[in-house]
């Protein structure tokens, strides 16, 4: 009985450590981009963001999937409601095909 308890304890310990390491790896893979929305293709689930200013500005394409959350001015919206010129902060990960897949997109409408 003691050997069985020890084996169960060791298996659970290894499983717990592996789970914690996987969670840390996922968090480490998350990246953030902030800037201005350049264009939105809601049907293609693609958003182009300009990050940086002046000569340092770079455009980056983000792909939205079914798990991507989208907010505008604090309200959950669809990607179609995001507009060029909106301020944006996006959390994303790079998938195995090298695409930037957004996990969260948070925008603020341009004040006119």
Q: Give 44-66 pLDDT, tens digit per residue.
A: 999 999 998 888 889 999 999 99
Taking Cα atoms as reference points, which of 111, 105, 103, 94 lies closest to residue 37?
Answer: 105
Domain boundaries, the chain: 32-108
According to the CATH classification, is domain 32-108 in 2.40.160.20?
no
pLDDT profile of the chain (112 residues), mean per 10: 54 54 57 95 96 88 96 96 96 94 94 70
User: Can you give the three-state secondary structure of 39-73, one letter per residue?
Assistant: EEECCCCEEEEEECCHHHCEEEEEEEEEEEEEEEC
pLDDT at position 24: 46
């Amino acid at each position: 009985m003691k050997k069985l308890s020890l084996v169960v304890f060791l298996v659970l310990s290894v499983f717990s450590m592996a789970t914690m390491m996987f969670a840390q790896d996922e968090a480490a893979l998350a990246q953030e981009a902030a800037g201005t929305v350049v264009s939105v293709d809601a049907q293609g689930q693609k958003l182009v963001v300009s990050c940086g200013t002046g000569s340092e500005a770079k455009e980056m394409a983000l792909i939205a999937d079914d798990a991507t959350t989208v907010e505008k001015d604090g309200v959950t919206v669809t990607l179609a409601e995001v507009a060029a010129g909106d301020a944006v902060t996006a959390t994303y990960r790079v998938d195995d095909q090298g695409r930037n897949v957004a996990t969260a997109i948070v925008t603020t409408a341009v004040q006119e």
